[in-house]
């Protein structure tokens, strides 16, 4: 089904893209809504929590270095219960794929292509998603390896040009948010950027070379992605002000619109759009890869590529039916999405560790045999 392997640097790049994902465009407003001027503090706390969650995932992965998360479920929980947990995992990754497709079309439709039908935008995104999976893990990892340099070049350009617009008064007074608000907003960020990273256990460590180095890169990539989100959140608050940041659906895109260097360099929000599309796309690819490979392993199929077309149609349908507009998307993200992610991405792995602790000797004997 999947014989290709990627190197630790390619895995690092995928982790960075996954951690940033949709967060770079939509998270600042959510953090600002709860934590006001201290949104950047919530981003820092969320990054720390994310690192702890990723450490949990690496600990799980290192126990069974040759198995994907779906195979690991069946090994630890047994055939039928393991398949049940894996089915819930695949449902989550499919829903998240559809959700990100809907986010991409909502952004493009409201900001750039208002007259293009949503179904067309969703279908075009699904096509390049299917292409990535059919070409294989190695191919899209190499593409990410190249495009990460484009991403950070655009990011540095954006930050450099926005510096003249900074007004420190916008983040005053400092540290006024309540502990409850900070925890609530930081947990939201942690769920989006790290709890859902359970999908990366379909790649790590089974399809990564130099596992120990890849383990470190899993943590490093999460930290780098977290730093990008912290910087963007801080810039949104310190440049736009708290009220505008809260009101904007895409505050970091609005941030790029205010860039004006000598009345010559302006209207470069396309850079921001490119940043977001890149990170969003690779996060979608990882979710879809986990869905396709996960279903193939649940059904014991020899070739997972045969699932790409039907699953592509399914995610397009889900993106239209479940997420018809931005209101439905935000409602899902704040309620069902977070609850589902916490159950599948945090509760199940913790339960897996508990069962593993009791069955450790038996599982080791089975592996040796």
The pLDDT score that the predictor gives to residue 264 is: 59
Go through the domains of the chain in sequence order and give each one's CATH number: 8-368 (1.20.1740.10)
DSSP-assigned letter for residue 164: G
Tens digit of each residue's pLDDT, the chain (369 residues): 456 789 999 999 999 999 998 788 778 888 888 788 888 888 899 999 999 999 999 999 888 888 899 999 988 888 889 999 999 999 999 999 999 999 888 888 888 888 888 899 999 999 999 999 998 899 999 999 999 999 999 888 888 888 888 888 887 777 777 778 888 888 888 888 889 999 999 999 889 988 999 999 999 999 999 999 999 988 888 888 888 888 888 888 877 777 766 665 666 777 778 888 888 999 999 999 999 999 999 998 888 888 999 999 999 999 999 888 888 888 888 788 888 899 999 999 999 998 888 877 776 666 544
Residue 173 preceded by cis peptide, ω within 30: yes
116 three-class SS: coil
CA angle 19, 349, 61 (to 5 degrees): 70
pTM confidence score: 0.93
Tokens 């995610």 found at: 315
The pLDDT score that the predictor gives to residue 363 is: 67
Residue 205 preceded by cis peptide, ω within 30: yes
Using alpha carbons, select from 94, 93, 73 the residue that is nearest to residue 349. 73
């Amino acid at each position: 089904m999947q014989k290709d392997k990627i190197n630790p640097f390619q895995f690092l790049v995928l982790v960075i893209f996954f951690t940033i994902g949709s967060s770079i465009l939509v998270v600042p407003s959510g953090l600002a809504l709860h934590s006001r001027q201290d949104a950047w503090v919530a981003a820092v706390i969320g990054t720390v929590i994310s690192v702890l969650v990723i450490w949990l995932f690496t600990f799980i992965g290192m126990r069974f270095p040759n198995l994907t998360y779906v195979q690991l479920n069946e090994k630890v929980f047994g055939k039928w219960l393991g398949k049940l947990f894996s089915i819930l995992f695949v449902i989550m990754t499919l829903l998240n794929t559809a959700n990100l497709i809907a986010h991409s079309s909502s952004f493009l439709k409201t900001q750039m292509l208002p007259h293009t039908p949503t179904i067309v935008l969703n279908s075009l995104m699904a096509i390049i998603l299917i292409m990535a999976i059919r070409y294989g893990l190695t191919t899209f990892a190499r593409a990410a390896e190249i495009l990460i340099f484009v991403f950070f070049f655009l990011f540095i350009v954006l930050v450099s040009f926005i510096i003249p617009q900074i007004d420190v008064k916008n983040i005053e007074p400092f540290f006024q948010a309540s502990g409850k608000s900070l925890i609530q907003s930081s947990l939201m960020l942690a769920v989006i950027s790290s709890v859902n990273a359970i999908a990366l256990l379909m790649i790590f460590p089974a399809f990564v070379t130099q596992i120990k180095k890849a383990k470190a890169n899993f943590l490093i990539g999460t930290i780098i992605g977290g730093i990008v989100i912290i910087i963007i959140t801080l810039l949104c608050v310190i440049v736009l002000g708290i009220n505008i940041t809260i009101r904007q659906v895409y505050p970091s895109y609005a941030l790029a619109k205010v860039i004006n260097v000598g009345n010559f360099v302006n209207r470069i929000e396309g850079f921001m759009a490119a940043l977001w599309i890149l990170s969003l796309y690779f996060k979608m690819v990882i979710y879809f890869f986990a869905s396709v490979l996960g279903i193939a392993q649940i059904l014991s199929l020899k070739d997972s590529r045969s699932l790409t077309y039907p699953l592509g149609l399914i995610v397009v349908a889900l993106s239209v039916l479940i997420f018809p507009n931005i209101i439905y998307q935000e409602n899902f993200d704040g309620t069902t999405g977070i609850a589902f992610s916490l159950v599948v991405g945090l509760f199940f792995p913790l339960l897996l560790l508990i069962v593993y602790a009791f069955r450790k000797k038996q599982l080791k004997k089975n592996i040796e045999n």
